[in-house]
Amino acid sequence: MKKHCSRILIIALSLLLACPMTACKKKSETKATHIKGGSTKRVDKDAPKEIESTELISLSIKSSTIASVGVEEYEGLEYGVYYFEFEVDLKTKEGSGSYRFEKQYEEDEAVDYEFSADEDFMIKLEKIIRDGGISRLNGNHNKTNGIQDIYGYRVSAVYASGEKISCSDNSSNWISLETTKELNDLFREASGAA
């Protein structure tokens, strides 16, 4: 009887000791996936790197120059975050857009500009997207945990053909400064912010 009680006591103690160890291990595994600086990368290998259509019907771009080198070499660009939005009403075929620039350390001072976009604007915008090679980034998404949403880039574009561009990185901006400047010039002029 004494041996039997000893075995039960040993098993009970083992279980009690094992449970907290298991719980601690699970918690640390969960935290490890959300540590600052840890990153998650998704790649859609089926996303086309070249877009056939030239008829852009919606576009949303965030392009940060905060961590870029050489911004001062591009007249009209400053350190900050640029937001470019564009959409075509499929019934009327009329385009509209918006522009916002958040200067580094002065985000609260930013102003949103809205405007109507004519056909000339739409042609120029599609050419900037095409010449800037933005479609080559299609399907690549990278997220670094623990950093503010003021770095990197994000692109979402839809074409009349159904083709799409979707890419982002919250730590590095893969959109060239030249392309960001061209977008900035086009949107500022169209919005009257220039």
pLDDT in tens, 96-155: 999 999 998 888 889 999 999 999 999 999 999 999 999 999 999 999 998 888 899 999
Nearest to 84, CA basis, from 101, 70, 71: 101
Residue 31 clears pLDDT 90, i.e. is over it: no
Residue 59 clears pLDDT 80, i.e. is over it: yes
For residue 38, name the pLDDT band (cuts at 50, 70, 90): confident
Q: How far is it, in rounded angstroms, from Cα 93 to Cα 63?
A: 27
Percent of the chain with pLDDT over 70: 80
Q: How far is it, in rounded angstroms, from Cα 161 to Cα 184?
A: 26
The whole-number pLDDT of residue 107 equals: 80
What is the SS3 assignment for 78?
Answer: coil
Residue 160 clears pLDDT 50, i.e. is over it: yes
